[in-house]
Copies of this chain bind each other. A is one copy, B any other.
Amino acid sequence: MRRSQILIPTLKETPADAEVISHQLMLRAGLIRKLAAGLYTWLPLGLRVLRKVETIVREEMDRAGAQEVLMPMVQPAELWSESGRWEQYGPELLRIKDRHARDFCLGPTHEEVITDLIRGEIRSYRQLPANFYQIQTKFRDEIRPRFGLMRGREFTMKDAYSFHADQESLQDTYRVMFDAYSRIFQRLGLEFRAVEADTGSIGGSASHEFHVLADSGEDAIVYCHQCEYAANLELAESRPAPLPCDAPMPAQKVTTPGIRTVAEQAQMLKLSHDRIVKSVVVMADDQPAALFLLGDDELNPIKAARALGAKQVRMAEAAEAETATGGVVGFIGPVNLPEKLRVLVDQRAAAACNFSSGANEKDYHWINLNWNRDVPLPETADLRNVKAGEPCPRCAGNLGIRRGIEVGHIFQLGDKYSQALHASFLDEQGQERIMRMGCYGIGVSRVVAAAVEQNYDDKGIIWPQAIAPFDVGLIAINAQRSEKVMAAAETLYDRLRDLGFEVLWDDRAERPGVQFAEMDLIGLPHRVVISERNLEHGLLEYKARVAAEAELLTLDAVLERLRT
Contact = CB atoms under 8 A, between A and B. Distances in A.
- Give the interface size class of chain A: 35 or more
Given A9-B121, A72-B35, A113 B41 contact: yes
A141 B39 contact: no
Contacts of A120: 33
Nearest to A72: B39
Contacts of A106: 74
Given A40-B72, A47-B69, A74-B153, 14 more contacts: A5-B65, A7-B127, A33-B117, A35-B113, A39-B72, A39-B76, A41-B117, A42-B69, A42-B70, A42-B71, A47-B70, A91-B99, A94-B98, A94-B99
Contacts of A96: 94, 96
Interface in A1-47: 5-7, 9, 33, 35-36, 39-44, 47
19 contacts: A5-B67, A6-B67, A7-B122, A7-B127, A9-B121, A33-B120, A35-B117, A39-B72, A39-B74, A41-B117, A42-B70, A43-B69, A44-B68, A50-B70, A74-B106, A74-B139, A94-B96, A98-B141, A99-B141
A441 B393 CA distance: 59
B39 A68 contact: no
A268 interface: no
Contacts of A5: 65, 67
A130 interface: yes
B70 A35 contact: no
B121 A33 contact: yes
Contact of A74 (B50, B65, B127, B154): B154
A69 B98 contact: no
A16 to B, nearest CB: 16
A137 interface: yes
B143 A71 contact: no
Interface of A: 5-7, 9, 33, 35-36, 39-44, 47, 50, 65, 67-76, 91-92, 94, 96, 98-99, 104, 106, 113, 116-117, 120-122, 127, 130, 132, 137, 139, 141, 143, 153-154
Contacts of A137: 73, 137
Contact of A69 (B44, B72, B94, B113): B44
A6 B130 CA distance: 8
B39 A7 contact: no
Nearest to A116: B35
Given A35-B76, A139-B74, A41 B69 contact: yes
A534 to B, nearest CB: 29
A47 B35 contact: no
Contacts of A6: 67
B73 A143 contact: no
Contacts of A74: 39, 106, 139, 153-154
Contacts of A153: 74, 98
Contacts of A91: 99
B71 A41 contact: yes
A7 B120 CA distance: 12
Contacts of A69: 41-44, 47
A7 B141 contact: no
Give the top 7 A-B pairs by smallest Cβ distance, nearest first. Answer: A42-B70, A39-B72, A36-B76, A91-B99, A44-B67, A9-B121, A96-B96
A422 to B, nearest CB: 17
Contacts of A70: 41-42, 47, 50
Nearest to A123: B9
Given A96-B96, A99-B94, A71 B35 contact: yes
Contacts of A122: 7
Contacts of A127: 7
A91 B47 CA distance: 32
A154 B73 contact: yes
A209 to B, nearest CB: 26
Nearest to A92: B99
A72 B41 contact: yes
Nearest to A76: B36
A369 B541 CA distance: 89
A36 B96 CA distance: 15
A75 B34 CA distance: 11
A180 to B, nearest CB: 16
Nearest to A139: B74
B35 A75 contact: yes
Given A72-B39, A121-B9, A143 B99 contact: yes
